[in-house]
Structure 1
Amino acid sequence: MLMSSFCCFGEKKMGQSGSAPVPGQIVETTSGKIRGRLYTIDEDRVVEGFLGIPYAEPPIGELRFQKPIPKQKWKHTLDCFHFGPRCPQADEYFSGYLNIVGKDEAKCLTLNIFAPQWESKEFPSGHPVMIWIHGGGFQMHSSSNYGDRTLARNLCAKDLLVVSINYRLGLFGFFTTGDEACRGNMGLWDQTLALEWVRDNIGKFGGDPNNVTVFGQSAGGASSDLLSLSPHSRDLFHKVIPMAGCGECDFAIRSSDEQTQISKDFAKFLGYKPHEEEGNEEMLEWLRCQYAELLELGLSGKKGFGKPGRLLFTPNIDGEFFPKSIEELRKEAPRKPRMTGVTQHEGLFFVGLTGLNKTYEGMQRYLERSITDDSYEGAQKLREQTLEFYFSDVNTKDKKEVIKKIVQIWGDREINYGIWEMARKEAELGSKVYLYQFNYFNPDGFGLLKWILPFLGATHCSELRYILGKGVISKFQPNANDHKMIKIMTDFFSNFAKYGDPNGKTEKCLWEPHDHTKPNRHLTITLEPSMQDSFIENRMELWSKVFRARL
């Protein structure tokens, strides 16, 4: 189960930006005229934010489960002062309270632009562009979860223009019949249409369409990587930052057959009763007639359906958006600079907040569900070797030590291995890759989670507050060290977006490009970042052996 989730856990629900908008200038786009709102980020610099720009026609009625259609041009000036609504999704884990926007299937396909209102002295062709793709396990959240004013203060202040986008989620974004009726991947087609809109319009906002970086975390990281591979999207940007998620992660993509079976079974679970003569079109028509509320999903799926810990709807190898396997597409895709990495304890977040059995016996059952006899050659031996690798020096009755190992196993299998493998493959193919492990955390920055997590450490989402400026596990009230980390992270990210190198324009090379012959060498990010040779404590070779045995 993957999520960028519970993303503002512990924050109070607030109005967008907390104050009445100050109108900015009018910009004419291919879709029509829009007016944004002004954010003052320091004494003499202003960013104009254009929030909730529609980039597609409402995906309702006959357009539900279809590729997005570009928005028809509107006639009047559109005031883009507030985030657009979320895609339909179940409100769980306090998300109904924590999200600042409501849900509306008809109006959810929007994007946001944060444009510096000063000319770039270094980049006369326009500000380098960063496009943020939110996470949430492909089931939940929206761009509004990740802030506006703080994002402008952290990234736009570095001479960057930033875009964030919404896309369809859950059943709305990834349902498939496995044929021409509905191949799925609507959420990825949404992202692609948003990238095309940016290409065609971003110059009017002072951005450079020829210097675009796509970045995202968790499911957003997986999306970023997958977009760099598909022939429909890979030429729409130039650099990519997949964080804690990529196309090599087990959660990120399925075969068409597997996702089709889940989709059809779920339709029946919801109440669809096919007659013998009915086909996929009839099933889609039945689903189009249902209220959006019936079809909403969260990370825990629907009670009574599916397996625990599995996302119901994800991207699939559909034969169109992905005309070949991920392996083949990765080899043939144009090489892009990429910066990628994980936090030190990715699994901590999930182990602490899900119903995963936190015992040695529970981990045995997790491995039985994950390394199944019908999907892995020699599955029983692989499960035994995995348990031996992690627990050989642990008293299995010591709850604290067992939980630490469970956190490692969960994070390694679901996230860490995929990132490590992608970095290795891309470097071997000739891409310039920068791999990191984020170890920094503020023990006072966990809010209510401090009392829920089995221990404290850098975990899923921990790095985001230092890039985007918004609390993603609790309300962000930075101390002196946090401010140092904000500078470290925003320097790395802005340098990469500008130059394709997180070191920036300097002869000093703190962060070495990845060498596929030394796959565990990486930058450990603390208050004093340094190159290290033990990515995730050198545990990835085990999972390389496991995943090579997949049938």
Structure 2
Amino acid sequence: MRSLLCIAATVGLALSACSTAAPQVTVANGIVEGFCVNDDVVQVNGFFGIPFAEPPVRFEANTAKKPVPKTNWTGVKATKTMPAMCTQATPGDSEDCLYLNVYAPDGAASGSLPVFVIVHGGAFAFGSANDGTPAHIAKYLAAKGLVIVMIQYRVGPLGFCTTKDSVMPGNYGMWDAKMAFEWVRDNIAAFGGNPNDVTAYGGSSGAALIDAMHLSPLATNLFHKMALFSGAATDIWDAPTKQKCEERAASLGLTWTDSASFKAAMLSAPASGLGSGWLFHGESTFDTIYADWSPVYDGDFFPTTGAAMRAATQPKPSIYGISFLEGAGTSGALNITSETVEKIVNYMVPATVGNRSLFQSYLIESYRNQALVLEPTAIDKHAAQAALGERNRAAGMDAVLRRNFELFGTNQTYYRYVFKHFNPATIGTRYPFISFASHAFDQYYSIGKPGFTFTGDDLTVVNLYTTPRPGHNPNGAGPVSSLAVPWVASTPANPSLNYVIESTPSMDPQFFFGRPHLNNVLNKIGGTFRPV
């Protein structure tokens, strides 16, 4: 699901009230000139469209997969307009897209502020550094004492197509993201950011990408903390990316006989035919749920399996979050019948589980018991949505945290939340079937939403959701110093504690109402639990 709309390419904001109308910063490649985004609280400057690499050559670069660092320029480069998003079948997109946007409080001392790198989601098919609204990001994130960096990376076929060999190894989008984080490491001090205090923040596929970078020996040291919502690097490894690339090529009328001729054919394809396109396969049958594009094992960026890399990687201080009804955004439009619910149960409960019918009844009833908070007339529909969201998002994040506790014990810091606040105006008429906070809704409150004005309870939640970030630090003090209701960290003895984010927040002892743990137990009993 594409969660955010893109804002206009040129940002026209009043500069007259700002003390520094055209701030300049010297980075490794030259001088960039930005503009004042706002001075509502403190002046925040924007530097939009900073190149962090040379324009990528399709399926090529040095060593055939990695982007090339940006060469130096002379004079002052104007960085005042949003960059073109990476090719995704959207007007104004481009293969020349390796740029990032920086928001920085004016006058910050070099290296003095925490850094927040935002990685967009979008099923590895959509999204850009332009997601959200500049005024919201400046006021509710940067003005609170953060340097914000929003990156973009190649998506869709151009970002992830692979022949699963050295001809087209894939993971181009991963290499792009790695180079963007390297740019942050090498340049962010000039904007006031501390390169030794970098938090990677993302949702959905953005969260999965960050978690995957954390597992890679080549990228794990490029950031120090993670704030992830609605995603983790679990099932992405199994996505049928090679198959979907071949299907896309065939749909364009391309022919090939081997990897080399496939690459040659893809090089000749029009960019318009390589723009995104995605589907969660199996959504109608619940046989399996995978997106078209994703990272793949390549023996390089990912030298071994996800399970092996996780066992070898010390966890970072992290925030893990999900929305109240994760599955609604992708399954809510389906016609939910008793047969569909049965298929969900068949998908979730392994066939090897003894007394299967009892498990099925228990599982369905555990979702139907949410009738206290769901519309009684739509109970089966919401039960199906909750089940799908749990299996494919919440359960994966829960399994990652529990696995880390098994591997590393108390030598880690985790905070968890469920985002429950919901205002139907945030989605308008696009998803009329959604009546609860669904997949990645929390990002509206962290980076804003074009065309939507936050008032009343929305502003309460905005401040609640954005306040913890600056205090989320490596020494374990956590993200909770200024919250009225204490946010208690998870522990090996009590891994399910989570913060419920709504206008009146609370702590809940059961992450996602305890359902992901039930799912994992069922999988383990059935002998089909996949390690994460």
Shorter-chain TM-score: what band?
0.7 to 0.9
Aligned pair partner of 1:168 in 131, 154, 165 = 154
Aligned to 2:40: 42
Aligned pair partner of 1:318 in 268, 277, 298 = 298
1:112 aligns with 2:112: no
Aligned pair partner of 2:378 in 400, 408, 420 = 400
Give the Å deviation of 1:415: 0.7
CA distance in 2 between partners of 1:440 and 1:463 (Å): 8
How big is each residue's C-alpha offset from its partner over 1:394-423, in whole Å with a ceiling of 9 and x where there is no partner? 69xx86111110111111011110111122
Secondary structure of the structure 1 residue equivalent to 2:131: helix
Aligned pair partner of 2:454 in 471, 478, 486 = 478
CA distance in 2 between partners of 1:393 and 1:111 (Å): 42
Residues 523 and 531, structure 1, Cα contact 8 Å, conserved in 2 = yes
How big is each residue's C-alpha offset from its partner over 1:6-58, in whole Å with a ceiling of 9 and x where there is no partner? 423xx9x6564343778522222222221111122326x21111101111121
CA distance in 2 between partners of 1:507 and 1:42 (Å): 23
CA distance in 2 between partners of 1:217 and 1:383 (Å): 35
Secondary structure of the structure 1 residue equivalent to 2:489: coil
Aligned pair partner of 1:181 in 167, 188, 197 = 167
Aligned to 2:261: 282
Give the Å deviation of 1:329: 1.3
Q: Counterpart amino acid of 1:117?
A: D
Please identify, of 133-142 and 59-68, the stretch whose mean Cα deviation from structure 2 is larger: 59-68
Residues 211 and 233, structure 2, Cα contact 8 Å, conserved in 1 = yes
Give the Å deviation of 1:321: 1.0
> What fraction of aligned residue pairs are identical, expressed as a percent?
28
CA distance in 1 between partners of 2:360 and 2:504 (Å): 33
The 1:508/1:371 distance shift into structure 2, 3 A limit, reads: closer
How big is each residue's C-alpha offset from its partner over 1:281-304, in whole Å with a ceiling of 9 and x where there is no partner? 2211110111111112233389xx
The within-5 A match list for 1:226-305 is: 226-248=212-234, 250=235, 252-254=236-238, 258-275=240-257, 279-300=258-279
1:342 aligns with 2:302: no
Residues 9 and 81, structure 2, Cα contact 8 Å, conserved in 1 = no
Aligned pair partner of 1:522 in 480, 498, 504 = 498
CA distance in 2 between partners of 1:413 and 1:516 (Å): 22
Aligned to 1:418: 396
Aligned to 2:420: 439
Aligned to 1:333: 313
Aligned to 1:75: 74
Give the Å deviation of 1:506: 7.6
Aligned to 1:513: 489
Residues 425 and 516, structure 1, Cα contact 8 Å, conserved in 2 = no
Kindly indicate whether structure 1 or structure 2 has the higher relative contact order, using CA contacts under 8 Å at least 6 residues apart. 1
Aligned to 2:139: 153
1:139 aligns with 2:115: no
Aligned to 1:389: 363
How big is each residue's C-alpha offset from its partner over 1:149-188, in whole Å with a ceiling of 9 and x where there is no partner? 2101111111110000010101111111111112211111
How big is each residue's C-alpha offset from its partner over 1:450-482, in whole Å with a ceiling of 9 and x where there is no partner? 7x125x2222232123222x127xx32222222
RMSD: 3.1
CA distance in 2 between partners of 1:440 and 1:393 (Å): 20
TM-score by length of 1: 0.84
The 1:386/1:66 distance shift into structure 2, 3 A limit, reads: farther
The 1:359/1:201 distance shift into structure 2, 3 A limit, reads: same
Aligned pair partner of 1:63 in 35, 39, 60 = 60
Secondary structure of the structure 2 residue equivalent to 1:448: coil
Give the Å deviation of 1:314: 0.7
CA distance in 2 between partners of 1:467 and 1:393 (Å): 29
The 1:118/1:176 distance shift into structure 2, 3 A limit, reads: same
Secondary structure of the structure 1 residue equivalent to 2:33: strand
Please identify, of 436-445 and 236-245, the stretch whose mean Cα deviation from structure 2 is larger: 436-445
Please identify, of 413-422 and 290-299, the stretch whose mean Cα deviation from structure 2 is larger: 290-299
CA distance in 2 between partners of 1:416 and 1:393 (Å): 14
Secondary structure of the structure 2 residue equivalent to 1:340: strand
CA distance in 1 between partners of 2:427 and 2:79 (Å): 33
The 1:332/1:319 distance shift into structure 2, 3 A limit, reads: same
The 1:130/1:503 distance shift into structure 2, 3 A limit, reads: closer
Give the Å deviation of 1:74: 2.0
TM-score by length of 2: 0.87
Give the Å deviation of 1:128: 0.7
Give the Å deviation of 1:439: 1.5
Secondary structure of the structure 2 residue equivalent to 1:324: coil
Give the Å deviation of 1:260: 3.0
How big is each residue's C-alpha offset from its partner over 1:292-338, in whole Å with a ceiling of 9 and x where there is no partner? 11112233389xxx999641111112221111221221122133100
The 1:62/1:76 distance shift into structure 2, 3 A limit, reads: farther
The 1:267/1:165 distance shift into structure 2, 3 A limit, reads: same
The 1:30/1:416 distance shift into structure 2, 3 A limit, reads: same
Give the Å deviation of 1:135: 0.5
Give the Å deviation of 1:380: 11
The 1:501/1:488 distance shift into structure 2, 3 A limit, reads: farther
Give the Å deviation of 1:527: 2.8
CA distance in 2 between partners of 1:210 and 1:112 (Å): 19
Aligned to 1:24: 22
CA distance in 1 between partners of 2:164 and 2:440 (Å): 33
Secondary structure of the structure 2 residue equivalent to 1:228: helix
- How many residues are aligned here? 509
Residues 382 and 546, structure 1, Cα contact 8 Å, conserved in 2 = no
CA distance in 1 between partners of 2:219 and 2:205 (Å): 17
Aligned pair partner of 2:510 in 530, 534, 541 = 534
Secondary structure of the structure 2 residue equivalent to 1:153: helix
How big is each residue's C-alpha offset from its partner over 1:344-385, in whole Å with a ceiling of 9 and x where there is no partner? 111122223x5x3322223444566x569xxx6638986984
How big is each residue's C-alpha offset from its partner over 1:80-100, in whole Å with a ceiling of 9 and x where there is no partner? 111111111134xxxx6xxxx
CA distance in 1 between partners of 2:356 and 2:253 (Å): 39
Q: Counterpart amino acid of 1:389?
A: L
Secondary structure of the structure 2 residue equivalent to 1:67: coil
The 1:61/1:518 distance shift into structure 2, 3 A limit, reads: closer
Aligned pair partner of 2:469 in 469, 488, 493 = 493
The 1:527/1:392 distance shift into structure 2, 3 A limit, reads: closer
